[in-house]
A = this chain, B = another copy of it.
Amino acid sequence: MTQTHDALQVLRSRGYRVTEPRKRVLKVLAEAQRPVSPYEIQEILQQKGEYLNHVTIYRVLDLFCSLKLAHKVLLGGGFVRCTLGAEDGCHRFVVCRQCGALREYADKALCEEETAIAQEFGFRAEQHFSEFSGICSECMASARS
């Protein structure tokens, strides 16, 4: 995972230390295919026999979010690795309401439209952040509803 390696570089270059807990949380986020909550991260680690105090996990996630290495997904309330380095200030997610599967994307056109709408309301747009829920192909196949 070069991506994980890059993240560690970000830590180092900003003067933060590369520690075992930080590497573990990063790995869980990288391997999770969906947003995971602090306590879920703890459980996942416990299954590998790697214990981390939940307070530590909270603090690591806080740090990661401030460095844009992770992102707090609001629908459901978990955390995900940020997969986007480009398109700054634009984090868009599709979340499957059934299984929680998540895809991140960025879209310039959407940002421009939203910025225009914001201006009509007297707002200056900064962070474009959107989540929308639907159902993924796998869940669509399994549940005929």
Contacts and interface: CB of A to CB of B under 8 A. Distances in A.
Chain A at the B interface: SS class: strand
Given A134-B125, A134-B126, A117 B105 contact: yes
A123 to B, nearest CB: 4
Interface string A81-116: 000000000000010110000010101011001100
Contacts of A114: 110, 130, 132
Given A74-B74, A94-B118, A113-B107, A132 B137 contact: no
Chain A interface size, as a band, is 20 to 34
Given A124-B134, A129-B75, A132-B127, A107 B103 contact: no
A130 B127 contact: no
Contact of A97 (B118, B126, B131): B126
B129 A125 contact: no
Contacts of A124: 134-135, 140
A121 B133 contact: no
